[in-house]
A and B are shown apart, each in its own frame.
Chain A
């Protein structure tokens, strides 16, 4: 049965997109050589375009590609060997044909992708090189697309990828999953690459980042930060449809149309956050995911459990301090304790070049302006933007606290969440936040996030 060439092209393109990473990873593992694996896969692709129109698209196209590629690679190695001793594996390989006999079929394997991923994210490579290599080899993304996503020229990105591959080859960066004792740092690099991919420009990269995060979760289910990262990406992706208005402008969280959030992704994200809570091995991605979970748990902005959000930001700031985290925390404090408290914190930050800093600051200033106008005017009505005096807002929060707390799924640790002593009164909240005391909010069983090796 023959398939017309156009259908073959579509089937092949679909197969490659779906299986390239796995095929390449398995080949690289078998051959111990990424460049040879890539060349061999390219050759197998050409072969497929010749054979599939004649023989039909194979039942397992990924396996077909991997097997044919491996045969080609072995031929190449044989030709290179010349007078040198040929190794055992080559001796058993048998002659190359275009139709792989069943007993020598090589199935692409998911686990091999983990090996390739850790290699691409080796610490001897710069972060930019790690990202470029991961997206080229594991995602099979077009160089032009990756270049655009990271705002560099295509030749620059191509050179970055080529240099990284050369370094892997010449410095003999090994193709293996790191030992347990190396795993915490090595995994952190992998998660960072996936996170950076998600935050790059372009929908294809978000899709790819989520795919990689899902793959990681499937292959390393015991690593809480892996689960946390997937949860974070899913919960962020869930809110994506509401991010921009019809004119294409960014919409603030408080103004987002929550009916546009994806409920399936929200539900999945919440499940994953609960799984992280049960493990009680907190880390930065898990805490960020939890913050997102609290936000997506609220039917309306006004229903947001701000004490919980602030408590989680306190945790995050302790684990992974940065001015951006401090900014986001200040914004949350603004919801809890009023715009003045938040503005005092925001003004202390040095984030001149960061657009959201200015947007937040402007928003806080405007709210203070509103409050002042409201106080002066005799017939002003409170708007839905929370211009009521803080005491009223807080007592509304407090009254909703009892039953909500019982339901709240996001409590970490075996003890009940200890709330900040100063929450109702803005001034005391501010003081609590400013001294950054660890007595607020969810308590972890261990005071520092513990990095446990995979499988323990």
Chain B
């Protein structure tokens, strides 16, 4: 069955945002915000569509690793410096694109960010996809 990556893109916090400075939301506020997502994920699992998902840390905590002619170079920060960044993802199984888009529509309604739906052309180890 076809598999798709649903990539959650966020607009990002303002440049001077300090994650430690703002007071955390109350448990009740958290619950209220999260409930639609929790319900949606229950349904994804119940219908056998959910394969894997996760929320990524802020782009500031990323490191890019590059090979420069044998030397390994490290860069502090995300690969692309921009306001938009990858915030999280779902990997789902769906009958076809319409099915995947339907799930994505519900995800975007819950999280309020645009979702990129990208099919996986191959899953599992590369060696399983090499020509015979």
Residues of A within 8 A of B (CB): 122, 124, 170-174
Q: How far is the CB of B113 from chain A (nearest CB, A)?
A: 19
B119 in contact with A174 (CB, 8 Å)? no
Residue in contact with B2 in the complex, picked from A122, A124, A172, CB distance below 8 Å = A172
Asked if B101 CB lies within 8 Å of chain A CBs, one says yes
Q: How far is the CA of A172 from the CA of B117 in the complex (A)?
A: 12
Q: How far is the CB of A169 from chain B (nearest CB, A)?
A: 10
A174 in contact with B98 (CB, 8 Å)? yes
Chain B positions within 8 Å of A173 at CB level: 96-98
Chain A positions within 8 Å of B2 at CB level: 172
Closest to B99 in A: A174
Q: How far is the CA of A79 from the CA of B96 in the complex (A)?
A: 25
Chain B positions within 8 Å of A174 at CB level: 95-98
Q: How far is the CB of B91 from chain A (nearest CB, A)?
A: 15
Asked if B32 CB lies within 8 Å of chain A CBs, one says no
Chain A positions within 8 Å of B117 at CB level: 171
Q: How far is the CB of A380 from chain B (nearest CB, A)?
A: 65
Q: How far is the CB of A335 from chain B (nearest CB, A)?
A: 47
Q: How far is the CA of A172 from the CA of B4 in the complex (A)?
A: 10
Closest to A124 in B: B97
A124 in contact with B101 (CB, 8 Å)? yes
A170 in contact with B98 (CB, 8 Å)? no
Q: How far is the CA of A170 from the CA of B95 in the complex (A)?
A: 13
Q: How far is the CB of B103 from chain A (nearest CB, A)?
A: 14
Closest to A168 in B: B97
Chain A positions within 8 Å of B119 at CB level: 170-172
Closest to B96 in A: A174
Q: How far is the CA of A174 from the CA of B94 in the complex (A)?
A: 11
How big is the B interface, by class? under 10
Q: What 1/0 mask marks residues of chain B from 92 to 109 whose CB sits below 8 Å from any chain A CB? A: 000111100100000000
Q: How far is the CA of A160 from the CA of B61 in the complex (A)?
A: 39
Asked if B121 CB lies within 8 Å of chain A CBs, one says yes
With most chain A CB atoms within 10 A of its CB, the pick from B2, B95, B98, B117 is B98
- Give 5 new A-B contacts, CB below 8 A, not counting A170-B121, A171-B117, A172-B96: A173-B96, A173-B97, A174-B95, A174-B96, A174-B98
Q: How far is the CA of A5 from the CA of B121 in the complex (A)?
A: 45
With most chain B CB atoms within 10 A of its CB, the pick from A122, A124, A171 is A171
Residues 26 to 52 of chain B near chain A (Cβ within 8 Å): none
Q: How far is the CB of A190 from chain B (nearest CB, A)?
A: 16
Q: How far is the CA of A44 from the CA of B60 in the complex (A)?
A: 58
Chain A positions within 8 Å of B98 at CB level: 173-174
Task: Give 8 nearest A-B pairs by CB, closest first.
Answer: A174-B96, A172-B2, A172-B96, A171-B97, A171-B119, A173-B97, A172-B97, A170-B119
Q: How far is the CB of B85 from chain A (nearest CB, A)?
A: 24
Q: How far is the CB of B122 from chain A (nearest CB, A)?
A: 11
Q: How far is the CA of A170 from the CA of B98 in the complex (A)?
A: 13
Q: How far is the CB of B86 from chain A (nearest CB, A)?
A: 20
Residues 53 to 102 of chain B near chain A (Cβ within 8 Å): 95-98, 101
With most chain A CB atoms within 10 A of its CB, the pick from B95, B97, B101, B119 is B97
Q: How far is the CA of A65 from the CA of B96 in the complex (A)?
A: 29
Q: How far is the CB of B87 from chain A (nearest CB, A)?
A: 22
Q: How far is the CA of A174 from the CA of B97 in the complex (A)?
A: 7
Residues 5 to 43 of chain B near chain A (Cβ within 8 Å): none
| 7 A–B contacts, CB within 8 A, in A order | A122-B97, A124-B101, A170-B121, A172-B97, A173-B97, A173-B98, A174-B98
Q: How far is the CA of A170 from the CA of B3 in the complex (A)?
A: 10
Q: How far is the CA of A145 from the CA of B97 in the complex (A)?
A: 31
Q: How far is the CB of A167 from chain B (nearest CB, A)?
A: 9
Q: How far is the CA of A124 from the CA of B117 in the complex (A)?
A: 10
Chain A positions within 8 Å of B97 at CB level: 122, 124, 171-174
Q: How far is the CB of A376 from chain B (nearest CB, A)?
A: 64
Q: How far is the CB of A230 from chain B (nearest CB, A)?
A: 28
Chain A positions within 8 Å of B101 at CB level: 124
Q: How far is the CA of A387 from the CA of B97 in the complex (A)?
A: 60
Chain A positions within 8 Å of B121 at CB level: 170
Q: How far is the CA of A300 from the CA of B111 in the complex (A)?
A: 61
Q: How far is the CB of B116 from chain A (nearest CB, A)?
A: 12
Q: How far is the CB of B47 from chain A (nearest CB, A)?
A: 17
Q: How far is the CA of A173 from the CA of B101 in the complex (A)?
A: 10
Chain B positions within 8 Å of A124 at CB level: 97, 101
Chain B positions within 8 Å of A172 at CB level: 2, 96-97, 119
Q: How far is the CB of A80 from chain B (nearest CB, A)?
A: 11
Q: How far is the CA of A339 from the CA of B121 in the complex (A)?
A: 62
Q: How far is the CA of A170 from the CA of B2 in the complex (A)?
A: 9
Q: How far is the CA of A455 from the CA of B101 in the complex (A)?
A: 26
Chain A positions within 8 Å of B96 at CB level: 172-174
Q: How far is the CA of A171 from the CA of B4 in the complex (A)?
A: 8
With most chain B CB atoms within 10 A of its CB, the pick from A122, A172, A173 is A172
